Amino acid sequence: MKKTRDIKSIEQSLVSFYRNQKRMPTYTEMMDLFEVRSKSVVSYWIDKLIEKGILEKDAQGFLKLSGISFGIPLVGNVAAGLPVSAEENVHDVVSMDAYLVDKPESSFLLRVSGDSMIGAGIMDGDLVVVERNRQPKNGDIVLAEVDGQWTMKYFRRKGADVVLVAANPAYPEIHPREELKIGGVITASVRKYLM
């Protein structure tokens, strides 16, 4: 049986460790991970990974996975063929957290109920990212309080007035009289199909 200790498998074990522990392993821990019996061997491979650009060391000398090993590959064109692993029609690698949420401190998630925004492709059960303290622009989808109830609507300016309109013809337009409570602006929506 051949030794499976090559750069690929070592990279995978590191990514796996980081995903589980939310930190990089120590050299001693890597001895177990790589199945070697000396820290110098660990150092030997770490150097190789750094040469390949898979690992980096930050200013303080701590190991860091470079982006390419982390996150999920964003495939540019499937027509060119399916990505088997880290192939070359991979345009970029993104973390969902970073991609979907600009300001984590002032954002929260909300599960959608109802079909008032079905025309915008937001369905019952979806999860939307809401950013607070953001000035809504014309056409944005906002979380607004209407008749003591929080709903999602398009934010439209008509001259000096503001109109809230659903993305569903079954719902009427709303012309807020005085106070208009905006809970935030919807910046993204996600949906899961399988558990």
Partner DNA sequence: TTGACAATAGAACGCGCGTTCTATATAAAG
Partner DNA sequence: CTTTATATAGAACGCGCGTTCTATTGTCAA
The catalytic site residues sit at 116, 153
Interface with a second copy, residue 26, by CB under 8 A = yes
Tokens of 122: 């937001």
Secondary structure (3-state) at 169: coil
Residue 171 is a binding residue for DNA (CB under 7 A): no
Cβ 72 to a second copy, closest distance in Å? Answer: 5
Distance CA 152, CA 183 (A): 10
When the beta carbons of 91 and 159 are compared against a second copy, the nearer one is 91
Which of DNA, a second copy, none sits in contact with 180, Cβ below 5 to 8 A by type? none
The interface partner of residue 42, options being a second copy, DNA, none and the CB cut-off 5 to 8 Å by kind, is: DNA
**Of residues 156, 107, 64, 130, the one with CA closest to residue 180:** 156
86 Ramachandran zone, left/alpha/beta (phi>0; psi -120 to 50): beta
Backbone phi and psi for residue 59, each to the nearest 5 degrees, phi listed first: -55, -35
Give the integer Cα–Cα distance in Å for 13 and 131: 36
CB of 26 to a second copy, least distance (A): 7
132 makes contact with DNA (CB under 7 A):
no
Contact between 105 and a second copy (CB under 8 A)? Answer: yes
Q: Could you list the residues that contact DNA (CB under 7 A)?
A: 3, 5, 24, 26-28, 36-46, 48, 57, 60-61, 63
